[in-house]
Chains A and B, each alone.
Chain A
């Protein structure tokens, strides 16, 4: 309990600064994405949605890897903080996955001519979204703290398998989705330098937003654990 209070205290001190940094970086990223970065030679202005779509997808991966690490942490140590981190990151991961799917769909309509198509990256991402909705559902239906945390942790360990499958699906199968342009096995990023810089700033802004959300959500979960579960 003392540990939990300590952790919450540290979170409380950091959170306002995280919020300010996230908001500031978001303003800079929006300016760069909408005004500073040049239009794409082929796609025109519509390509700018990658500054939302790509960071959302990357942050979803990060969030689900954090769920995995926190799940291992819970199974290893049974510290409630790990369970709080896992649920917070899963919720934010689902949010970012949903955002990536919606942003991708908005980009696909003018580019591919359809809102949705049955190609590997889209399908595996949708499956990942459903998997983690199931994870949250499992948590919601459990009434005992220890059991809920253990069941969720085991599922969190299993579900992370889908993250590399989503990322590599474009390489494993014939895909309509664009191949990796930044993290490429062969050579450096295949992107104009100003576009790459804008993308990196967007990723940094989204990461700060993720950190801010995490800090707030973990604090809420720790209070909830204390009031609802640990005292019972």
Chain B
């Protein structure tokens, strides 16, 4: 647990010194929110289902961007081999990255979410429910993406391969997060909490799966 916390703290420190992952992800979401309104028009963009779907698709891509940037940094600094060589380093690498990226993505989701609410003038019937859905939705994303980034590590065409591997696996999470956020926006409290529960289950399943099989994937 200590090692996981150390890796997470190190990751957050590196991102604070050079916040290119968070900046890229936040800018990406902001651009997509603006584009949505311009492309489909303000009336359709205000629809809770449309806004929620676009937000979560954007956040999935933002997760891929941030995770790839995180591992690129390790490779640029030749830090990955040293980290993996430590006792328990592989588990710590996965766990630490999941924790740190979740924290970063919560920030990105908060900024992107506020931008969506303000710029699209979305109705917000259940703010606390929406916060719970966003929290569990964000927690459910990094374990899957980290596994896929590790599988594609040091491969050519990695930038194209990671979305191809990650997005189909993320479909259930994206559906649940979209339905949950949409339910919170329109005031369906039972729907929002049910989808949030499902997202939490996804997060637990993929985190356990990641901790079980990722050590074998890291060379």
Instruction: Give A residues with C-beta under 8 Å from B.
Output: 75, 127-128, 130-131, 133-134, 137-138, 141-142, 147, 150-151, 154-155, 157-159, 162, 165
The answer to whether B164 touches A147, judged by C-beta atoms less than 8 angstroms apart, is no
B216: chain A residues at CB < 8 Å are 75, 150, 154
Asked whether, in the complex, the Cβ of B155 is within 8 Å of the Cβ of A142, the reply is: yes
B217 within 8 A of A: yes
Interface size class for chain B?
Answer: 10 to 19
Chain B 127-166 interface 0/1 with A at a Cβ cutoff of 8 Å (1 = within): 0000000000000000000010001100111000100110
Q: State in angstroms the CA–CA spacing of A182 and B98 once bound together.
A: 43
Determine if A131 and B169 form an interchain contact, defined as CB atoms under 8 angstroms apart: yes
C-beta contact mask, B153-186 vs A, less than 8 Å → 1, else 0? Answer: 0011100010011001101100000000000000
Distance between A94 CB and nearest chain B CB, rounded to angstroms? 13
User: Ordered nearest first, which 7 A-B pairs have the shortest CB separation?
Assistant: A134-B164, A131-B168, A134-B165, A141-B155, A151-B151, A127-B168, A154-B217
- Return chain B residues, CB-CB under 8 Å to A157: 213
Residues of A within 8 A of B209 (CB): 158
Q: Tell whether, in the assembled complex, residue B161 and residue A155 are in contact, meaning their CB atoms are under 8 Å apart.
A: no
Q: A134 vs B171: C-alpha distance in the bound complex, in angstroms?
A: 15
What are 11 A-B interface contacts by the 8 Å CB criterion?
A127-B171, A128-B168, A134-B164, A138-B155, A138-B165, A151-B217, A154-B214, A154-B216, A158-B147, A158-B213, A162-B168
* In the complex, B219 has a CB within 8 A of chain A: yes
**Of B151, B155, B157, the contact of A155 (CB 8 Å cutoff):** B151
Chain B interface mostly helix, strand, loop or mixed?
helix
A71 to chain B, nearest CB (A): 10
> Do the beta carbons of A130 and B168 come within 8 Å of each other?
yes
Residues of A within 8 A of B156 (CB): 141
A residues less than 8 Å from B151 (CB atoms): 138, 151, 154-155
Residues on the B chain within 8 Å of A159, using CB: 169
Given known A-B contacts A150-B216, A158-B147, A134 and B168 have beta carbons under 8 A apart: yes
Query: Could you tell me if B213 and A154 are in contact, using CB atoms closer than 8 angstroms?
Result: yes
**Closest A residue, CB atoms, query B148:** A155
Chain B residues near A134: list those with CB within 8 A: 161, 164-165, 168
CA distance A126 to B193 in the complex (A): 29
B168 near A141: Cβ-Cβ < 8 Å: no
B165 and A141 form a contact (CB under 8 A): no
Contact of A138 among B161, B213, B214, B219 (CB under 8 A): B161
- Output the residue of B151, B209, B213, B217 with the most chain A CB within 10 A: B151
B165 contacts A155, C-beta separation under 8 Å:
yes
Interface residue ranges of B63-116 to A (CB < 8 Å): none
Identity of the chain A residue whose Cβ is nearest the Cβ of B165 in the assembled complex = A134
Contacts A157-B213, A158-B209 given; 19 further ones with Cβ under 8 A?
A127-B168, A130-B164, A130-B168, A131-B169, A134-B164, A134-B165, A138-B161, A141-B155, A141-B161, A142-B155, A147-B219, A150-B219, A151-B151, A154-B214, A155-B151, A155-B165, A158-B147, A162-B168, A165-B172
* A137 close to B164 (CB less than 8 A): yes
Closest-CB distance, A203 to chain B (whole angstroms): 27
CA distance A154 to B217 in the complex (A): 7
Cβ–Cβ < 8 Å partners of B161 in chain A: 134, 137-138, 141
**How distant is the Cα of A131 from the Cα of B156 in the complex, in angstroms?**
19
Set of chain A residues within 8 Å of B164, measured between Cβ atoms: 130, 133-134, 137
Q: What residues on B are CB-neighbors of A128 within 8 Å?
A: 168
What A residues does B169 contact at CB under 8 A? 131, 158-159
Q: In the complex, which of the residues B147, B157, B216 has the most CB atoms of chain A within 10 Å of its own CB atom?
A: B216
Please give, as numbers and ranges, the residues of chain B lying within 8 Å of A158 by CB-CB distance.
147, 169, 209, 213
A52 to B125, CA, bound (A): 50
CA distance A4 to B161 in the complex (A): 32
Bound CA span A131–B164, Å:
8
Bound-state CA distance A158–B156 (Å) is: 22
Q: How far is the CB of B145 from chain A (nearest CB, A)?
A: 12
